[in-house]
Every structure is written in C-alpha cells, then in structure tokens.
Amino acid sequence: MACSARRLTVFLIIAGLIVLIVPWEPVTLSAAEEIAPSPSSSEERVDVKKGLVAFVEIKTEEPVTVYILYPTQYTKYKATGSADGILEFKNITWLIYPIPALLEDQTVYFVPFVPKGGPKGGPKEGDVLFHTIYEDIYERIDRLMKGEEMLRAGMEMAVAGGTEVIRLTPLIPGLKVRLDFSGDTRFVIVKTIDLARYRKGVKSFEQLYEESDLKGSEKGINFSTTDFEDLYLIVRLIVRTRDPVRVKSVIHATKESAESGC
C-alpha cells in the first residue's frame, strides 16, 4: 500500500499537480491493480471486471464539467450530442468516482469538457488527468469489516458565485466526512427538506444557520453520518475573490458503514 501511494505521489510531483490546494488523498490499496495515469482532455473509457471496484480519479487545475456515461448512453451521446440521462459533475477540479462491478463487468466513459462561458484559459489538451485504481470488492469489504477506514468518494469543486449548494451523497450511517474550503466562507449543512424550504424561500440561510448543528466559518469541518439522510452543503463566500474558492469533500467508509449494506 505504501509503495503504491509513493508511486502516485512521485507521479503527481512530475505532473506538477501536487501544488493543488488540498493535499493528495491516496486511495488505500492492497492487492489493488493500478492503471498508469493518462493525461487527456478528451475522454476515458474504464472497464471494470466482475468482482472489482474501480476508483476513477480526475484532476485538473481549471474547473471542468465531467459527463459519466454507460455504453448505450455513450453511443447515443456520440451520435446525437444528447446529454439526456447523463450523470454530470460541474466545476470539478478533483473527483474520485467509484464504479462497483459486483454482479457483472461494467464499462463507463468519462467525458470532461469546458462548458460554454467557462473560465478563460480553461484546460487544454492534456490538462485533465485520469487515474484508475482497481480493488477487489470482497477484499475491500473484508478490510472494512476488520475496522479499516477506506476512501469511498471525493470531490473538489470551484465556487465562484455568492452562494452555492453542494449535495453530499450518497450517505449511509458510519461514514466519516471531511470538508475543506480554500477561502473564507460561511457554511451550513442541512437535510433535504430544509434545502427545499431554502430553495422555496420559506427559510433563509440565516435561519438555517441558526438551527443547524453542522455549520461554521472555519476552513473545514469533520463529522460522521448517523443515518441515511442526504445532506446538502450551502456555502456562502464571505469575501469575493478573483479566484474561485475550492470546496473539497472527502468521504471515508468504516466498519459501521459496511454493515449498513450500501
């Protein structure tokens, strides 16, 4: 495991990406198989054999939108350009997305691009880095059940506007969640129904801030999930800066989360 993490770090230094705001979070490895990182700004096909889970990592210095597509969606997207039904992550600078192949082989395509009206001087050919790590699902469950904590998902996105809502999902009991902010923000974490009330104007940010236990204006927060509720991070920039603030979430699985069955 240590060896694999070292190799990744060496690669990142070579790639010049170690300077990103938030330190490198290695995926814990054992008998995992790594695929060499591939610089690309076009797309990445990931094939996952039955019994494995692939952790696909995407890194870029400038924010991009990433489409994640299954084969039939990919074929349709290529033929028609239609993004209907496609999973989309916006303003991403870092993403770890798991693809479990518990029942059968899986093939997933990752297509990053800079949306129209995106930041000037956005990523060019070769700026978006893909890196895939494969782990045995059963071995991973085994390690979780023995008490090891393991990376489950991660995301970093750029927030340029005044207030942004970010969904923290899927959440199950026993996960450890870490949020970091690169700039001065005020934030509150709410359940779905309060998000709906906020969107409808029934509750203000200040009201939610008053009521919530998970809130702050620090550079980060740690908490553990206790149930299956989806949570939403509502983050408000305190001082507008020229550079967007980066919000990073890292979620680790534990024994308790493994026993939750998801």
Partner 1 sequence: MKISRRSLLKSIGVSVAGGIFINGVSSSRVFGEEKGISKVHKPALPPPTGKRVVILGGGYSGLYCATTLRDLAPEAEIVVVEKYPYFISGPSHVDFVAGLKRLDEVMRSYDPIAGRNIRIIRSEVMGILPEEKRVLTASGGLEYTLLLIATGIRIADEDVLNLIEQPASNAHAWEIGETVEMRKRVEGFTGGRFVVTVPTAPFKCPPGPYEVACLLREYFNNKKVKADITVVDANDKPQPGPLAQKWTGVLEAREIKYMPNSKVVEIDARARQVITDKGEKVGYDLVSIIPPNKAATFIKDAGLGDPFVDVDPATFKSKKYDHIFAVGDCAKVPYTKSAFTASLQGKSVAHYLAMALGPLGSDVKEPAPIYNVCYPYVSSEESMMVRADWDRDGKMLKAEADDPKKEYASSRASWERGLISGLFGA
Query: Cβ 181 to partner 1, closest distance in Å?
Result: 21
Q: In terms of CB distance, is 169 or 217 closer to partner 1?
A: 169
DSSP 190-218: EEHHHHHHHHHTSS-HHHHHHH-SSEESS
Instruction: Return d(Cα 260, Cα 87) in angstroms, integer.
Output: 25
Q: In terms of CB distance, is 12 or 233 closer to partner 1?
A: 233
Q: In terms of CB distance, is 55 or 232 closer to partner 1?
A: 232
Query: Cβ 106 to partner 1, closest distance in Å?
Result: 5
Answer left, alpha or beta for residue 261, where phi above 0 means left and psi between -120 and 50 means alpha: left
Query: Cβ 70 to partner 1, closest distance in Å?
Result: 4
Distance of CA 244 to the CA centre of its chain: 17
Query: Cβ 260 to partner 1, closest distance in Å?
Result: 6
Instruction: Return d(Cα 48, Cα 42) in angstroms, integer.
Output: 20
**Tokens standing for 110?**
């990752």
Q: In terms of CB distance, is 72 or 120 closer to partner 1?
A: 72
Backbone angles phi, psi at 57, to 5 degrees: -110, 135
Query: Cβ 227 to partner 1, closest distance in Å?
Result: 6
Of 183, 232, 172, nearest in space to 208 by CA: 232
Query: Cβ 86 to partner 1, closest distance in Å?
Result: 8
Residue ranges in contact with partner 1 by CB under 8 A: 68, 70-73, 76, 84-88, 100-104, 106-108, 137-138, 141-142, 145, 165, 167, 169-170, 172-173, 192-193, 195-197, 199-200, 226-228, 230, 232, 258-262
Q: In terms of CB distance, is 127 or 135 closer to partner 1?
A: 135
Amino acid at 164: E
Assign 255 to helix, strand or coil.
helix
Assign 153 to helix, strand or coil.
strand
Q: In terms of CB distance, is 9 or 107 closer to partner 1?
A: 107
